[in-house]
Each structure stands twice: as C-alpha cells, then as structure tokens.
Amino acid sequence: MMRQYELVERVQRYKPDVNEALLNKAYVYAMQKHGHQKRASGDPYFSHPLEVAAILTDMHMDEATIAVALLHDTIEDTTATRQEIDELFGPDLGKLVEGLTKLKKLDLVSKKAEQAENLRKLLLAISEDVRVLLVKLADRLHNMRTLDHMRDDKRLRIAEETMEIYAPLAGRMGMQGMREELEELAFRYINPEAYRTVTARLADISERNRGVIVEIENSLSGLFEKYALNATVKSRQKKPWSVFRKMEAKALSFEQLSDIFGFRVVVESVEDCYRALGAIHTTWSMVPGRFKDYISTPKQNDYRSIHTTIVGPSRQRIELQIRTREMNKIAEYGVAVHALYKDTGGKVNASHTISKETNAYAWLRRTIEQLSEGDNPEDFLENTKLELFQDQVFCFTPKGMLIALPRGATPIDFAYAVHTDVGDTCVGAKVNGRIMPLMTELKNGDEVEIIRSKAQVPPAAWESVVVTGKARAAIRRATKNAIRKQYSGLGVRILERAFERSGKTFSKDSLKSVLHRLARKDIEDVLSSVGRGELSSTDVMKAVYPDFKEERVTLPPKPREEGWSKIRNAAGMLFQIPGRASRKERQAAKESGAVPIRGVRGDLPVRFAPEGAVPGDRIIGIVQPGSGITIYPIQSPSLTAFDDQPERWIDVRWDIDEATKERFPARISVVAINAPGSLAEIAQVIAENDANIHTLSMVRTAPDFTEMLIDLEVWDLKHLNRLISQLKENSSVSDARRVNG
C-alpha cells in the first residue's frame, strides 16, 4: 500500500507547489475512518481510495482532486458526515465528496430505477465540477481491475453497467485511454470465452506481423524525413472489444478484418498535419471513402485528428491517424486536459471546472437539461445510454449551422436537435433541396430543412424511428401530454354528468380552492385523474360541496330523435346510443356530448370487452381505473357488475371514418360436426366472407359434435350477421351464434 509521503511525491513531480498539508490531512482522515474495513479481496479498504488517488496522479490532477479521491467513500461507507467534511476540508470539497456518494434509502421499484437515479445525481454533480467525473471513472477503473474477488452475479452486473454507462461516458468526455481499459475489463467478464479467443488471435497476429509493422514504421519515418517533417510514428493494435464489436456488427470473420493494426503520426502543428497528409497521399494510393478530417470538424468529445487509409508499400491496407501532440493528449485524457487550475491553497472554486467552450461539456449540459423534463428514472437511463453510444454524422441547417447526430439519425432527430419545438411541429423535410420521407437516414454533409406546422402533434410511432435520446424523450412527453389531455376531457364529461345528476352545475373554477383536499397540483391533474378512474366523481363532489350527500336524481327523459335508442341503466343514468346512423344523425350525436369511439387505434385510450363490439351495436363505456374505457355491447351480461357504480358509466357513440377501414372484435360460438375437414370448412367460410380469425379454442368436445369459441375481426354488425348466416348454411355446422359475455 502506498505510503503517505509517496503520494505527496507523485503529485510533486508535476506540481512542485503542491499543498502537502491538504493531502496529508485527507490521507490520515480517510485511513482512520475506514479503520479495519476490508475489501472482498481481504485487503484493507483504505487501499481502494489510495489506488484511485494514484490513478488520478497519472492524469496529473491537482491536490484537491486527489484529496476528494481519498475521501470519496467516507460519507457512504463510514461514520463520516457531510458536515464533518465541510468543517475539516471546506464546503466546496465536501460538495464534491457528496456528489460521489450513492443515493440511499430510495423507495424505488427496481434496480434499474436505482441505477438511473444514481446516474442522474452523478451527472448533476459533474455539471458543476468535472472532477467528480474524473474521480468516479478512476474509482470504477480500480473496481474493475479488482473485480475477480466479487461474487459471479455481482461481477456480471458491475461489468454490464461499466460497458453500458461508464466506458461510453469516458469516451463521450474524450478520455479514450480510460474508455478502452474499462471496455476491455468489462468484456473479460461479460463474454469470457469470446475475450479469450479474440485476445489469443490478436497475440498470434501481432507475433506474425512484427516484421511488417517495423517495415511500415520505417517507410513512414523515411517519408517524413524526406519532406523535413518532425513526426513520430507509432503502431497501434485494436483492442479486443473493438475487434469483437466490429466482427459482430458487420458479420465479419477474423480473417476479413483489414484494420487490426493502425499507425499514429504525431506532428508539431496543424499545418504539419496537412503537410504529412499530402506527403502520404502523393506517395501511396488512398482507399476511397476512408478519409475523415476531424481537425476541421471535431467530434463532440473534442477529438481532433485526420483519419485516412492507404494501400501501403506491400500492397496492404494501412490505417493512419495524423494529429498534433496537443490533439494526442486530448484524445488520451479528454476533459482532464481542459481542467483549469489556480494556486488556491488546495481550496476548490469555480475555476476548477471544465471550460464551458468544450464540445464535451456542451453535450453534458444538454443531457443535464433533459433531467428537468420530468422523465421517469427508466426513461432517463435509456435516453442517456442512447446519447452515450454515438458514431456521428454531421449535417447542416439551410443557414449553415452544424448539427452532429448519431449514425442512423433521421430528419426527425435533426429537428429535435435544433429545438424541441421544431421537432414537435415537424411535418416534413427537405434533404439537399428535395422533399424526402421523415424516415430517411441522414448522411455526412446533408443539408436538412424542416417543414413545420403548428397543428402538428408528434405521432407516438415516431418513438420507434428516432435514434437520439432527446428526440425519444420529447416524443414520449408529447404523447403523455396528449393522453393526459384526452383523459382530462373525459374527466370533464364525467364530472358534468355527476354534478347534473345531483342537481348542481360543474365548473372548472370551482376546483381551484379544493386542490389541496384532492391532493392534486392543478385543475388538469384533477380532471385527468377522474378520467383515468383514479379519483371518483363523488370525492370531487364532496370536496366542492362538503355538505353533499349522495342522492341519485333521475334525469327527465329527453325528446326522442330519429335513429336513436334511449337506454336507462339500473342507476337511472340516461345514455344515447347510435345505431347505423346517417351522417346527419352522427352530427346530432356529436352535439349531444357522447364520447366518439372509432376503435383501438383511435384517439381515446379505449379497449373492447372480451366479447367485443362492432359498429351497429348499441354500446356503453365503462371507465377502468388507470387504463381508459372498456366498450361493451348494451346486451352484455357483464354490465350488471357495474350497476352500483354509476360514475363509471360513460356515453359513447360510434364515429366511423368511412375513408379508413378498420375491423372490430366479436366473439361467436360454432357447434360443428366432429368429422375430418370440418374446421377447415369453417375457416374457409370465414375467409370467404372477408373476416379475420384472431383466436380459436375448443370449449366442449363430444363424440359427434365440437363446440368452438372463435374471436373474429369484422367490419360491422351487418358483416357479422351475414357471416353467421353463412356458417349456419354450411353442412358441417350444427349451430352458430354470437356470444355476448
């Protein structure tokens, strides 16, 4: 275990004016607090924060960051408190330590939700001071290096979390060296067999190609000497996880990989990068489509380099990266290079944050903004993962604004990347001046113009099309808001009918003063809760009128309208239900206030009872708490179960769009002769009548007959009756009838 003076000496090598007192104080405090605690390996627990601190000294971090590394587990795992750390080390340093402390005592329903909330807390802390991230990644790296001592199930969970969150987070913040080591360690535990195979093959290839690698290095070095360029050439080999991922993604065998080896050219200046590129391309042929200039267009994690592939001296493909020494440092350490230090006597202040100009920090800020959008924990975790895993394409607005998107992005993703309002109102897109489908996959250099309409509401189906977390979260929110609005409208109708039954008049304003009694934050929340069935109309009535006593009032009959039937249930509620009404009659129905029902793909959150309902049936809606409305045919015996719950009964009517054909569910019982081929004949009759069998079950089988229950999808009542008549005429059928519950 590293001694106290050894840690100080490590920092002094790159920061001679180190605040030794701060490091010594943090070292002694953490060692005392962790006391006799042991790790799973049996080592003293204090060895862990000490190793985390050592990793950060390799990154040349300041003494305040090293002190935070020593203290990072004290609040979580010892008797130390935030107040105590504030008193000893100052509130700024205490805030960093708390930012690294996992949330405790959360009432969360799943491990995934707990993981999401801890990530949310971590990102918020990182947004205030990037060194929280550096300590967290160093902490995760040491835990991964010592993962052998954990239980198998815990080992796999930690490895998967590392691969899904922490490795890509390191990559997005530009820390490529950290990312590669985390990925390799996680790969070893997630898929040990593949790891062993790939590692062995890479070692074998490295041994066989040693001579070729030296030859290429010498050829490149000789070329740069000829052009008087001060350049360092170094070979590099792809990491096992990178090789395996490419084989999986592109279905390649090991022998088909052409870029296992690459070469990095490091020069003094940006001008030298392009001079080196010119020397290479004028000497060897470039492979078309394999050139990328990340110097003129940096990646979102601030990575800058020129990538090219050439056909080399021995006619083999050679991947090259050309960059300056500063670019190389940023590619290795990312945001750690941008940390701004001042001599503050070991105190932490605002200067110890990442530069606000970096792309990596801008991405982090955008991610943090999404935290305030109200996503639930699982949605936030999913969307953050989507943002982390990105291989980019660069597109432009008509005004030349650069938009970086992940590969596979569509104009919808582009619209949401510009602004959430642009995405929500998007109805079309022009790509390079041509109107293209919104599902079009964008390519590097595309100019995208979004066509908008204020009347647009983003369809829920877009969620399965987009690839960015921001777009997915925005679409999901818009869908939730639309559903909430529908439930709110339904709640208004329920309350209006309930108040009318009691001889009172309902108004939204009457709810303002009773929100606290109903435990709701606003009027819309009350209305949508009633619509969902989470809050009863009686409870609302009692909140508005504390002296209210539930007495049902039978409404006087309304004038009969042609084409309509009036149905009164046991609770005395009147329902107007259309049959096969004319267009004029349907308009009258709309004006009557009944809720329009089109089908399961309509606008309202509706579903049909097991026995189904079809246009032409007289129907009733029953509010199901939390799941919308269930539609029953008026003759269904199941409705008797709701006779004593009048507040759940809803006026509903068919509102069929003749231009959009849709089938509806119905259930029939067929008694057929028990003979070979009879089922096939029944199925043929159903098919010939343009109906669709959804499910079929045998409910009773006798020596001579078999009774079948068949769930069908038909156009309307006339279609269903015609089908039943056709079945009855078939020689294999003894009886056919509709089942109504």
Query: pLDDT tens digits for 648-664?
Result: 787 787 877 666 678 88
Residues 146-165 have a mean pLDDT of 87
* CA-closest candidate to residue 31, choices 45, 51, 21: 45
Active-site entry in 9, 20, 43, 76: 76
Residues 270-298 have a mean pLDDT of 90
Q: Are 195 and 188 in contact (CB under 8 A)?
A: yes
Q: Which domains does the chain have, with CATH numbers?
A: 4-175 (1.10.3210.10), 197-333 (3.30.460.10), 478-544 (no CATH), 564-654 (no CATH), 664-738 (3.30.70.260)
End-to-end, the C-alpha distance of the chain in Å comes to 75
Reply yes or no on whether the pLDDT at 288 is more than 80.
yes
Alpha carbons 483 and 580: distance in angstroms, whole number? 29
Alpha carbons 318 and 709: distance in angstroms, whole number? 67
Reply yes or no on whether the pLDDT at 265 is more than 70.
yes
pLDDT level of residue 588 (50, 70, 90 thresholds):
very low
pLDDT one-digit tens code per residue, 617-656: 888 888 887 667 889 988 888 888 887 777 778 778 787 7
Residues 383-388 have a mean pLDDT of 57
What's the whole-model pTM score?
A: 0.56
Strand pairing category for 574-578 and 649-650 = unpaired
Residues 200-207 have a mean pLDDT of 87
Identify the pLDDT of residue 607. Answer: 84
Alpha carbons 6 and 23: distance in angstroms, whole number? 11
Q: Which of 109-118, 168-177, 231-240, 473-482 has the lowest mean pLDDT?
A: 109-118
pLDDT one-digit tens code per residue, 436-469: 999 999 988 889 999 998 888 888 889 888 988 7
Identify the pLDDT of residue 151. Answer: 85
Beta-carbon-side half-sphere exposure of residue 476 (alpha carbons within 13 Å): 19
Active-site entry in 9, 20, 77, 217: 77
Establish whether 271 is a catalytic residue.
no
Joined tokens for residue 439: 């599902």
Identify the pLDDT of residue 24. Answer: 93
Joined tokens for residue 354: 């990442």
- Looking at per-residue confidence, does 344 or 18 come out higher? 18
Identify the pLDDT of residue 486. Answer: 77
Q: Residue 241 CB: number of other CB atoms within 10 A?
A: 24
Alpha carbons 337 and 603: distance in angstroms, whole number? 53
Q: Are 527 and 534 in contact (CB under 8 A)?
A: no
Helix axes 63-71, 47-58, angle to 10 degrees: 160
Establish whether 662 is a catalytic residue.
no
